[in-house]
Amino acid sequence: MMLFEASKKRMLWDMHGAILGSLGCCSTQLLLVVIIKNIAAVPRPDFLTRCQPDYLTIPVSGSLYTVDFCQNPDESLINDGFKSFPSGHSSTVFASQTFLVLFLIGKIKMSGSSYFSWKLVLSIMYPLIISFKVSFSRVSDHRHRVRDVLMGDLIGICFGTLFYFIYFTNPFNGTPSLAFPPRKFEVDENSDGFFGLKVSTYDIDSKEIPYTESVDDGNNPLFAKSFSPLCYSTVPMKLKHTVNNRQNRPISNPISSLFYM
């Protein structure tokens, strides 16, 4: 029962980190995209349709024009026509799906069995297919050019990867990727850093307390069937975890300390 509660709290803490990370990457990349859109002010491919100019009164002299020649009274529609670069839809969908792919890689582990390989490949390919479908549909809708979509994809991938590694451990080291324990910033008067700010004096790689939890169909079926098909066996499987409680004090249950501090 105690092992079940520990695994349940670990799942809740990982879910908490996943929600914060996904919302953080989407909101932060969207802020950057909006700033670039307003600075670059690149016209959309359908700008002339939005503008509805009177072609008979416009002199064909190669001169530059302002939006004053537009006949469309909807000013907001015209202003939105100058926000082509980069694509906000592409950056948002790639940020969220990149975070999801890394999360699935960290939870679904490869082995010699083909069951694991196709499961992992499907978990990676499905979000990426959705991302490319959404992003390049903006080209077919004449809302963006290919370069706008590609730049949005790059921004989304960068922010999705960045925020995953902020909240979770490395998913490519062969062990289950876990959410980091709580961290805090503090002011150190003796520090020469920027404004004297630094991360808590407890190093995230020090004061590590290893513990082992038993997971099988009997004591934790939800965790077992969600993340590791190996747990379908009736033989309990020992999973090795390392958790830093960041408090420089011994604890008997590292997971409990994450929720009851």
Contact, 252 vs 2, CB < 8 A?
Answer: no
Place of tokens 């190093």: 203
Q: Say which amino acid occupies 158.
A: C
Question: Which DSSP letter does residue 70 get?
Answer: B
Question: Which DSSP letter does residue 11 get?
Answer: H
213: exposed, middle or buried (Cβ count in 10 Å: 0-12, 13-18, 19+) = buried
Structure token pair of residue 122: 């499907």
Q: Residue 248 — left, alpha, or beta (φ > 0 → left; ψ -120 to 50 → alpha)? A: left
Q: Enumerate the active-site residues.
A: 89, 144
Structure token pair of residue 124: 């990676």
Q: Say how far apart CA 106 and CA 114 lie, in whole Å.
A: 18
Per DSSP, the residues of 196-241 read: GEEE-SS-TTSSEEEEEEEE-TTT-HHHHHHH-GGGGSSS-EEEEE
Sequence-distant (≥ 6) Cβ neighbours of residue 127 within 8 angstroms: 97, 100, 101, 104
Contact, 5 vs 143, CB < 8 A?
Answer: no
Structure token pair of residue 119: 């499961």
